[in-house]
Structure 1
Amino acid sequence: MRTALVFLLAVLAAVAAGLLTFRSGSLSQACLAGGAAFGVAFPFFDAVIADV
């Protein structure tokens, strides 16, 4: 259950970053920003939720 929640939050962060980047740039930049946001958000949310 915890892994699904962490994954969902990371995907939401990636989609938000991708959409915001797409509005000001190209699709390739949006994909890179979304991937980077997911890569950073997953360990962050994993650490935050592990403390609860």
Structure 2
Amino acid sequence: MQVVLLERVEKLGQMGDVVKVKDGFARNFLLPRKKALRATKANIEQFE
């Protein structure tokens, strides 16, 4: 799953980076903790 990072995540990237992570990591860690958003076209455009 591709996500847009909302903050710096160690060993993953900086705020605004679009990164590919495993689905479970995104669903169980990044998304619930508001550290990332799904990389939809609208979300990617917000960070450009």
Please classify the TM superposition score into its range, dividing by the shorter chain length.
under 0.3
> TM-score, normalising length from structure 2?
0.27
User: Which structure features the higher share of helix residues?
Assistant: 1
**Structure number, greater radius of gyration:** 1
TM-score normalised per structure 1: 0.26
Name whichever structure is richer in strand by fraction. Answer: 2
